Amino acid sequence: MAVKIRLARHGAKKNPYYRVVIADARAPRDGRIIEEVGRYNPVSSPKFIKLDMEKIDEWIKNGAQPTDTVSRLIKNAREQA
């Protein structure tokens, strides 16, 4: 089973709010998830990024692949910490 770390969109029209989730690669974007590991709000000023880095590192160690966007969020979160 291919596992991805990706964004699941929530929020209202033109007011997106994302959750960083662990999900099966075959599942739909907002479909069934395995675990929620963070949140991201691009609309707020400054942008809100909250990630559980311990869980993310554990999932990556076990073979989960982050998407390009999530990789950038992880990189930004590490720089801020």
DSSP 43: S
> What is d(CA 42, CA 59) in angstroms, rounded to the nearest whole number?
24
The verdict on pTM exceeding 0.85 is: yes
Report d(CA 40, CA 6) in Å as an integer. Answer: 11
pLDDT tens per residue, range 25-56: 999 888 899 999 999 999 999 889 999 999 99
**Residues shown for the chain:** 81
Give the C-alpha separation, 26 to 7, whole Å. 14
Question: For residue 31, what pLDDT is reported?
Answer: 87
